[in-house]
Structures are given as structure tokens and as C-alpha cells.
């Protein structure tokens, strides 16, 4: 399967402003790029790239005063297979976890473990350890939280999600990640492209989304507490402790976001051997 992904963003700045962007496909999928996801800027500006502490590709620049456009368009090869399942994947004792997994047991800005520790153990302490426990957490979060774009709030934490019982996909993942960490299961927050591939048409198409990964059975597995079913065509952009680590753009000064459009489409091969994708540009919904 081939998938076309990209964004078209326009900011308005009152003065030259430093930015950090996290808009490239994650380095772990570099070999899958058929067409590179080169970031293009109008007006053109000097940039510098670096890899952050979580392995994400970041771009630094200074945006000029006035309108500033950021675009990228890429083609990615994907297996076309849904998220992998392994109900036998076991939970590790903390003492046997690899060092790099330990940070994903700790509380973080949006995933505060202390307020939810007692709740987590009362709900999941008697569930079978390993995959069934993570699945029980996803089942709980999906049934406990009401999804709606109107519920989006950038400052909402996992503890607040558990009380307010509403949110967008980042809120579902923050609560699930926190409950996993409370149960000593390393969990990390992910963001990336997720189109409506292999699912019925949706009146609110998904193009950019959050999910999470847990460490079980000596590897990381993908889970999604909002959809709570394996999906096809996830294209990872970044992963970290929570949404604070994976902001797709960080601006160090006042600005106005004038346009944010994202696309994620399966490229369909025509009988003549030509490739094409139906135009599918949607205003970004904070999911």
C-alpha cells in the first residue's frame, strides 16, 4: 500500500519568531518514504534539523514577520496490515525492563500518575497482567470518555479527563497512558497521520491523530484507546512522554494560525498502471 501524506499551514507573525517544527515522518520509517517529506517554506528561510531525546526529527527556524506558509507532501510505503495483536504478550517486572523504558513509567505534564494510582489499582489490579490488562484499560477509557471536537482543550490532563469524561483523541491517550504507567506498564504517547483507510466513511474524517505504545513481551505494541480496534495506515511522526513532547509546531512568540490543512490518502493504482489519489483535504481537527 502507498499513502500520500502532508500538511499546509499558514501562520501570521507580528515580528520575527523562533519556531521548532515536528512535521517530518519519524526516522524509524525513513526507509518507507517513496517521496521524501521535504518541508517547504514561503517565504524561504534558513533551517536546521536535529534529533531530540526521543528520536524525533525536529526543524529549527526563525519565521519572518507577516504570513508564513509551511507545506510538505510525501508518499509512504505501508504494509497495509492492521495494528499487530498478541494477546500472549507478557508484562515485565520493573526490575527486568530495559533502561530506556523506565522514563515511560514516570508521571509527566499531562500524565500525572499520583492522582490516578489508587483508581488504577482498584480498577485493574485483578485483571490478568500483560496484554489483557492493557486491553481492559483501553476498554475502560473508550467507555468512560465521550469523544467530541468541541471538547478540545490544550491544557486538559489525564486526571481531569477522568473527572470530566470528555475530550479528543489526545485526552483518551493521556488517560490510557497514565493508567498503564500506574500499573507498571511502560507507555509512550504517539502522534502521526491516520487516515480513514479500511474503515467506513466518517462524517468527521481522521487525518492526524494520537495513539500510544506499551512495552510488553520485549517490544513495543500499538494501542488506541479512542478507536479501540486495530487500524490500517498509521504513519508515525513523533513519540514521547505525552503531548508536550510531540507538538508538531512550537512558536516562541505571539502569532495567529490562519490555515491548517492535512491530508492522508491511500494511493489507488488504476488498471492502466497509473497511480492516483482522490483529493482529500480537510481542515485539521484536533483529535
Per-residue pLDDT tens digits of the chain, which is 287 residues long: 999 999 999 999 999 999 999 999 999 999 999 999 999 999 999 999 999 999 999 999 999 999 999 999 999 999 999 999 999 999 999 999 999 999 999 999 999 999 999 999 999 999 999 999 999 999 999 999 999 999 999 999 999 999 999 999 999 999 999 999 999 999 999 999 998 888 887 666 667 899 999 999 999 999 999 999 999 999 999 999 999 999 999 999 999 999 999 999 999 877 655 555 544 434 444 44
Assess whether 51 and 149 both reside in one domain: no
The residues, any chain, with a CB within 8 Å of residue 257's CB and separated by 6 or more, are: 9, 10, 11
Q: How far is residue 272 from each of residues 115, 202, 275, 276, measured CA to CA in Å? A: 59, 29, 9, 11
Q: Specify the number of domains making up the chain.
A: 2
Within a domain: residue 83?
no
Assess whether 118 and 168 both reside in one domain: yes
pLDDT at 274: 54
Assess whether 237 and 274 both reside in one domain: no
Dist CA 75 CA 167 (whole Å): 31
Is residue 72 within 8 A of residue 264, CB to CB? The reply is no
- pTM greater than the 0.75 cutoff: yes
Assess whether 117 and 206 both reside in one domain: yes
Q: Which residues on neighbouring strands pair with residue 69, listed in sequence order? A: 10, 42
Within a domain: residue 46?
yes
Helix axes 117-124, 131-144, angle to 10 degrees: 110
Name the grid cell of 130: 500483560
φ and ψ at 280, to 5 degrees? -150, 75
Within a domain: residue 128?
yes
Assess whether 110 and 237 both reside in one domain: yes
CATH, residue 168: 3.10.620.30
Query: What residue has cell string 509527566?
Result: 108
Assess whether 160 and 109 both reside in one domain: yes
The residues, any chain, with a CB within 8 Å of residue 160's CB and separated by 6 or more, are: none
pLDDT at 206: 62
Within a domain: residue 34?
yes
Within a domain: residue 60?
yes
Angle at 10 between CA 9 and CA 12, to 5 degrees: 150
Dist CA 226 CA 214 (whole Å): 15
Is residue 217 within 8 A of residue 210, CB to CB? The reply is no
Assess whether 180 and 234 both reside in one domain: yes
Q: Which residues on neighbouring strands pair with residue 67, listed in sequence order? A: 12
Within a domain: residue 85?
no
Dist CA 257 CA 11 (whole Å): 5
Largest CA distance in the chain: 60
For residue 10, give its domain range.
2-75+247-283
Assess whether 21 and 126 both reside in one domain: no
Assess whether 127 and 213 both reside in one domain: yes
The count of other CB atoms within 10 Å of the CB of residue 147 is 16
CATH, residue 38: 2.60.40.2250
Assess whether 193 and 150 both reside in one domain: yes
Assess whether 68 and 118 both reside in one domain: no
Query: What residue has cell string 499520583?
Result: 114
Assess whether 204 and 120 both reside in one domain: yes
φ and ψ at 103, to 5 degrees? -60, -25
Amino acid at each position: 500500500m502507498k499513502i500520500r501524506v502532508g500538511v499546509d499551514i499558514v501562520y501570521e507573525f507580528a515580528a520575527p519568531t523562533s519556531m521548532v517544527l515536528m512535521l517530518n515522518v519519524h526516522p524509524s520509517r525513513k526507509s518507507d518514504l517513496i517521496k521524501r517529506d521535504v518541508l517547504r517554506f514561503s517565504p524561504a528561510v534558513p533551517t536546521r534539523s536535529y534529533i531530540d531525546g526521543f528520536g524525533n526529527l525536529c526543524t529549527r527556524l526563525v519565521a519572518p514577520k507577516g504570513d508564513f506558509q509551511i507545506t510538505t507532501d510525501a508518499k509512504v510505503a505501508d504494509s497495509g496490515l492492521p495494528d499487530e495483536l498478541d494477546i500472549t504478550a507478557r508484562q515485565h517486572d520493573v526490575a527486568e525492563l530495559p533502561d530506556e523504558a523506565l522514563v515511560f513509567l514516570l508521571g509527566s505534564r499531562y500524565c500525572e500518575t499520583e492522582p490516578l494510582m489508587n483508581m488504577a489499582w482498584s480498577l485493574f489490579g485483578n485483571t490478568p497482567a500483560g496484554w489483557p490488562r492493557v486491553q481492559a484499560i483501553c476498554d475502560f477509557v473508550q467507555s468512560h470518555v465521550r469523544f467530541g471536537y468541541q471538547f478540545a482543550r490544550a491544557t486538559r490532563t489525564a486526571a481531569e479527563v477522568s473527572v470530566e469524561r470528555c475530550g479528543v483523541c489526545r485526552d483518551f491517550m493521556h488517560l490510557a497512558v497514565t493508567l498503564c504507567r500506574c500499573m507498571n506498564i511502560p507507555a509512550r504517547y504517539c502522534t502521526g497521520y491516520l487516515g480513514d483507510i479500511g474503515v467506513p466513511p466518517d462524517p468527521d474524517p481522521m487525518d492526524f491523530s494520537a495513539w500510544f505504545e506499551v512495552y510488553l513481551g520485549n517490544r513495543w505494541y500499538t494501542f488506541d484507546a479512542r478507536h479501540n480496534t486495530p487500524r490500517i495506515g498509521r504513519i508515525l511522526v513523533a513519540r514521547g512522554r505525552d503531548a508536550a513532547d510531540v507538538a508538531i509546531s512550537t512558536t516562541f512568540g505571539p502569532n495567529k494560525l490562519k490555515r491548517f490543512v492535512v491530508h492522508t490518502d491511500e494511493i489507488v493504482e488504476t488498471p492502466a498502471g497509473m497511480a492516483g489519489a482522490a483529493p482529500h483535504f480537510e481542515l485539521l481537527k484536533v483529535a
